[in-house]
Every structure is written in C-alpha cells, then in structure tokens.
Structure 1
C-alpha cells in the first residue's frame, strides 16, 4: 500500500490520469511489487509488500432495501492471516462464529494437511418467503468439522505467493447440532444432533495475477470439491435413515483478462462460473450449499465459495445451483477501480411451504452490481457497492443493497 495520496478529490482523479515511468506505456501496479507512478505532477512511490506474511481485518455492513424479514442491515467483521514459507502454508479467516483454518506442511514431496471450519451462528435461522420471515421455521443449527490428510502442491505461473496447483485427499470428522427456539412451530421437524464422518477430494488451480488492491488482473483460477458425508445418528423427516449418507460436488472457474479490441492495461473483463449438486436428490436444509452474495472473489481460498453478485453476505440454502457472472472493471487511477457486474443464478433453494414445512423449489434470477474499490489511508482499502437482486435472495421479492467495507493491513 502507500500513503499520502487520497486527500485528492475524485474529480481530480478523473481529470488527471497517472503516467508510468520508463517507456511511457502505462502498466497497472501489481500486488506486492514496488513501483513509481506520476500522479497530478507528483511522483508516488509504491512500496513492496511481503504477501507471504499478511494480517488484515475487515469491517463493514450491508444495508438492505426493502429489509429481508426483520433484517435491514448485515454487519461484517473478520480477521485474515496468511503465512507462507518454503515448507509450509498457513491460512485463517476468523469471524468468531464462522471460521476457516488450514495448515499444510511439506513432508518430502507431499503435504500433510490439517483443516478446521465451523458455522455456529448464535441466532436462529428462518426461511424467507416474499421478503418476509416465516417465524415458525426458526431453528438454531450449525456444524464444526475438522479434517486431516495428504496433498500435493506445485507452483504455477505467474509464480506469486498464491499461484499454485493443489490436490488434497482428506478424512473429515465433525458434529452437527439443531434445536428449537421460542418461535419454532411445534410441527416443524428437527433433526437429531449427530457426529459427521466423511472424506473430501479437493483440487485447486490459481493462475491469477492480482493488482495493487489484490483484485484479479489477469489469468484464471479453477477447482472442485467432491465430498462424501455420513451422519451417524440421522433420522429422516419421514422416519428411517433418510439422507444419512450423501455425496456433493461443487466447482468454480474465475478469470480476468483485457477487453477484446482495447489494448489498455486499465480495462479488464471479469467472469466467474460456479456450480454444485447433491447426489441422488439427498439434499436438505441441513446439508445444503450456502450461496453468498459477495464482492467479486479475489483471495485464493475465497475463490471456491459460491459467488452471486447480489446483496452482500446473505445466504441462500440450495441443494443444487449454478451461477454466472460477467463484468467490466476500469482503473480510474492506480488506486481507484470502478466495476459493473451482472449475474445469473439458478438454485434449487429452500423455501417455507408452511409455518412447519420447508421444501425446495427451482428459482432463477439475476443481479447487477456497481462498485468502487479504492486504496485508503493507513495501508487500508475501501469497497463501496450498490446491488440490485431480482428475488432469489428474498425468495420472491426483489430489492437492492448498499455495501461499505474497510480492509486494513496490520
């Protein structure tokens, strides 16, 4: 990051583009690399950043209009940690009630891999129907899962800290819980608490080069997860074993390239494809995929989570899904980027048929987002966005959202 630039107003930014040193051809500053640009007649030094050793915090919120049920604002707070050496890779995303931790250690050509994740929200979840909460569907439920196994990792072009090809085979064990609250309908089926056992095959490729703000600039990333899970004490809603054993597949493809016919480094075409399916129709509200409306993905591990460019940090439960996002990003100046994105979604999503019955139904829709990404004071950055969503998030009711997030390197 850099200091001492942002006091200039955005009108001056639009009127006074940067100039590059050297051959006079402008090149977008890239993540981690030192550089020098001329901005409004002043030379600005961009210091190098050790991307192998990073800590950051993210704070922010989304405002929803109209509210989703009783929720008019969704807060965001998370801590990010990354340490990469020749022998190990460590990464953690800590948000207190939703966390992801991974540590990989080279053991002579193969990695020993350990992972932990949990989703243990302290508030009851309720189904949404036409933007209104169905109070009778209210339940507390969550999971804690640990995994261990072996993996293979090799660097790939452009050979930055997050560019690699990985394959991992993991054994997984965890715990699922569910219980009622005061509003829960007496007739709503509640599954038993149970141990979770299973296996995961994971494959990742990250060939993206990122810009100064860690946004995808050039290249592609792709991957998939294939999971098999056994729920030990499971009883189905109709009795018997129900969906005790199930398999799930999910995959992604994300890319950024120059705009055809435009040679400028400032103009980028963005795309993202995501899909997931639960085998043999064995999906339910408690093993469903969680689809998030998020900023366009960039961080190596976040690339794999289902992306839909709608209202930020809300979750749709789906047995199967497919999303496609395409957009354009313009570098207004070396620290300020304007993006416009459109998304399509198909989801076999959960919905409340009655106060005591949750089923799944095919839904299709679209979303549009206009966003600004900017460097800010104190080695930080800002994300500001407005999004419109046609009704999949609110299960039948369209709406918009305004999001502001602040990320600070520590």
Structure 2
C-alpha cells in the first residue's frame, strides 16, 4: 500500500500529459485520438515524413484511412493512470505492485494549478501571475499509515520497519520567462520558497529493539528551485528536440531533534538536525546523423550531493522506478528502471541514461535505454548483532525496453521491461515488467 500511494506523484505527472495527447484526434479511428504537427503528411501505410508534434494539427493516412487531428490546448489536462509492476525475483518482499494516480493541470488568465492526488500521497501547486512575476504556493504530504521497511539483497529488512510521514506547506515568489520554442511548457523559472511542515515516526511490532527513532518535530527551511525547459515534444509528449536543465538547493532544520540509532551506528543530533542538499539534472533530445527524423537520441543526467550535514533515512534523496520523466514539472525526478517506487534512498549520486527511440507509427514509439549509476551512497542494513546501518557506495547499470502507444477510447499505454545487473538487489540481477494505462477526461 505504501508503494501504491507513492506512485501517485510519479505516474500522475509522467503519464497525465501523455493521456491528454491521446484525446484530441479525429474520432473516426477508434484505436487512438491524438494531437500532432500541422502540415506533415504520410505517403500511406503509416510512413510519416514529418513526425507529429504535441499540440499542433496534423493530417495523415494510415491503413487506407485519412486521419485529421485538430490542434489542442496543452495547458489544461485531467487524467487517470492505472497499472502495475511485476518483479522477478521479488524485490523488497514485493512480487507485484498495483498503480493508481490522478493528475490535474489548468491555467487561467492569471492563475495556474498542478495537482497530483493519491490516497495518502498528494502534491498541489498554485501560482498567481503579475506579468513575469509570480506568487507561489505548494502543499505536499506523504502520510502512508503502513510500515516502511528498507531493502537489503532484494528482501525487506523487517527490523528496520517504521511508520513515518511528512506534511509540508510552501510559500514563495519567483519569475517565469518564456523561452524557445515557446510552447506551453517552455519557460525559465527561478523560484524561492520558505517551507514549514511536520515530521512524525513511530515503531511497529517488527522494529528492532536497538533502533532508537528521532522525535516528531516541526521542520522548516528554504528551497531554491531553477527550471529551464527548451524541449519540443512529440504527439505522445515525449522529448523530441532541445534541452532542459534544472537545480534545487534545500536548506533544512528539524526543530526538535535527537540522536537516533540503528544498532551500533549512531546518527547524532548535531550531524543530522541541519542539512544542505544540492541536486540537478540535464536532459537533451536530438536527431541521429544519417538517420531520419523518426530516430531520436535522448540523454538524461541526474546528480545530487549533501555538502553540509549528514543525511539519514528520513532526509536522503529518493530514487525510484516508474516511467521516465517527460513532463516539465517532473524532469527533476531521479529514475532508475526496475526500482521500487520512491523506496531507494541515496545520499550522493550520479545517474545517467541514454535512450534510442524509434517512431514506428505516428502513435507508436519504441524505447531502448541503458542506465548507469555511479557513487550511489545508500543505506546498507544487516541484522547481525542487531540492526546496523552504514553508507555503502555502489555502482550499477540497468537496461530497459519500452513501448508507448495510443490506445482505444482516447487512452494511452506504456509497456516496459527492465533488467538490473546488481544495484537493486546488492549484487544479484533481476527483472521487472511495468504496464500503465492512462486516460484523459
């Protein structure tokens, strides 16, 4: 249940936009409704000369039928995502994990909102514009009422089980400047927030006797966020051409804090009460020399470090599985194919993915990816002589293949197979299959 709720943030943002892209085609073909580039036409049989792009009108012939797709307003999206993951062998005690997420985004004349709603995990943003200046609000909660256990050798470490959560509100201000190619999601944003919230944790019947948890506390700090999105996206809202980058600076204080222990290892109050986290990403999409425009190369690079303070279990960066980030407000998310959702803590990391993507039909795309991680410092639990936790630096690689496709009743499908060589299961290889269905309303 913890994983189902956490995935609302991941899949809602990544697939919500894509489902909307599948909802605006001519109603005649019942396999897909899409919005794509004006002026491009196929020569028949689905061989597209100019790839369809998001939001623009498009006309083509497919299997002897003429398909005319109108332009679409990409600012306003409402969608539902359902699906599941299967792991072989099981990962963290899970053989299969169901998925559910609701996504909503809307822009009015002066106001804008983006909301991802789950049962126990929610994220909501609002902005009021005064020209290029914006007043900003953000709310998020992760209040899953079920035990969260860390993973070692692909298995749950039950002695590490705790129930914990956070509720946080942010207020801030920033500027938003349009950038090329001047589509709905192309902008430069510089935003500064003050955030305040509450952290809580509690033991379960499985928690080891040697574990000493920190107290519930008020948490507050500053968050500087920079986003630049110059990507042009295709009909399925996948990056087609251009660059995007961003960075986050988080300075946090936990007001009422104490030492915490995992067996013999002590996280002292002075080391973990205050911390600074720096993270960033670069994403590029481009053509491949001597190949047609239906062949694309995409590069993802994510990195993070904590130069001040010591990150613990509750403050570490979180990597996870799910679809690769494509939506402008989701690009910061750290993806690792085959991982449990939001359940892979790291303190310092560099993760890079290279992708070859082929357009098979105007609504059907093949993805081939290689993902490589360096210096992923993460907790390593053992149960020898009580529960211990240490930071273990691990490198790893994963390989994945996926299909993105329009589907019946104005919906969209994503199917992915992922193979991890050693990182997720501490030296043992494993695989996963993910199937997601998304529909806009």
Q: Which TM class, normalised by the smaller chain length?
A: over 0.9
The DSSP-based 3-state class of the residue aligned with 2:157 is strand
The DSSP-based 3-state class of the residue aligned with 2:125 is strand
Of 119, 122, 125, 1:96 maps to 119
Counterpart in the other structure of 1:246: 275
- Deviation for aligned residue 1:242: 3.5
Counterpart in the other structure of 1:304: 332
The DSSP-based 3-state class of the residue aligned with 1:182 is coil
Counterpart in the other structure of 1:84: 107
- Runs of 4+ with deviation above 6 angstroms: none
225-234 or 241-250, larger mean C-alpha shift: 241-250
8 Å Cα contact 1:129/1:396 also seen in 2: no
Report matched runs for 1:140-155 at 5 Å: 140-155=163-178
With over 3 angstroms needed to count, the CA separation of the structure-2 counterparts of 1:407 and 1:150, relative to structure 1, is same
Residue 60 of structure 2 corresponds to residue 31 of structure 1 = no
8 Å Cα contact 1:131/1:396 also seen in 2: no
Provide the rounded CA distance (Å) in 1 between the counterparts of 2:110 and 2:325: 27
TM-score by length of 1: 0.93
347-356 or 243-252, larger mean C-alpha shift: 347-356
Could you tell me which runs of 5 or more consecutive residues in structure 2 were left unpaired when the two chains were aligned: 1-21, 33-40, 261-265
Counterpart in the other structure of 2:387: 356
The DSSP-based 3-state class of the residue aligned with 2:308 is helix
Counterpart in the other structure of 1:333: 361
Could you tell me which runs of 5 or more consecutive residues in structure 1 were left unpaired when the two chains were aligned: 9-17
Of 419, 428, 434, 1:388 maps to 419
8 Å Cα contact 2:92/2:150 also seen in 1: no
How many residues were matched structurally?
398
The DSSP-based 3-state class of the residue aligned with 2:204 is coil
Residue 315 of structure 2 corresponds to residue 290 of structure 1 = no
Counterpart in the other structure of 2:370: 342
Counterpart in the other structure of 2:13: none
- Deviation for aligned residue 1:305: 0.9
8 Å Cα contact 1:319/1:349 also seen in 2: yes
- Deviation for aligned residue 1:240: 4.2
Counterpart in the other structure of 2:84: 61
Deviations 1:119-171 (A, max 9, x none): 22222111211112111111111211111011000111111111110000110
The DSSP-based 3-state class of the residue aligned with 1:178 is strand
252-261 or 329-338, larger mean C-alpha shift: 252-261
346-355 or 176-185, larger mean C-alpha shift: 346-355
203-212 or 348-357, larger mean C-alpha shift: 348-357
Counterpart in the other structure of 2:35: none
Residue 155 of structure 2 corresponds to residue 124 of structure 1 = no
The DSSP-based 3-state class of the residue aligned with 1:308 is coil
Counterpart in the other structure of 1:400: 431
With over 3 angstroms needed to count, the CA separation of the structure-2 counterparts of 1:131 and 1:312, relative to structure 1, is closer
- Deviation for aligned residue 1:351: 1.6
Counterpart in the other structure of 2:308: 280
Of 259, 262, 267, 2:295 maps to 267
With over 3 angstroms needed to count, the CA separation of the structure-2 counterparts of 1:25 and 1:7, relative to structure 1, is closer
Provide the rounded CA distance (Å) in 2 between the counterparts of 1:65 and 1:332: 29
Deviations 1:314-349 (A, max 9, x none): 521011111000010000000100110000013101
Residue 158 of structure 2 corresponds to residue 135 of structure 1 = yes
8 Å Cα contact 2:152/2:380 also seen in 1: yes
The DSSP-based 3-state class of the residue aligned with 1:261 is coil
8 Å Cα contact 2:276/2:309 also seen in 1: no
8 Å Cα contact 1:62/1:312 also seen in 2: no
| Larger proportion of strand | 1
Residue 233 of structure 2 corresponds to residue 210 of structure 1 = yes
8 Å Cα contact 1:150/1:170 also seen in 2: yes
Provide the rounded CA distance (Å) in 1 between the counterparts of 2:324 and 2:351: 13
Residue 226 of structure 2 corresponds to residue 197 of structure 1 = no
Provide the rounded CA distance (Å) in 1 between the counterparts of 2:150 and 2:48: 54
Residue 287 of structure 2 corresponds to residue 258 of structure 1 = yes
245-254 or 27-36, larger mean C-alpha shift: 27-36
Deviations 1:210-241 (A, max 9, x none): 11111111111110000100000111234543
8 Å Cα contact 2:379/2:389 also seen in 1: yes
Provide the rounded CA distance (Å) in 1 between the counterparts of 2:170 and 2:311: 22
- Deviation for aligned residue 1:377: 1.3
Provide the rounded CA distance (Å) in 2 between the counterparts of 1:240 and 1:328: 47
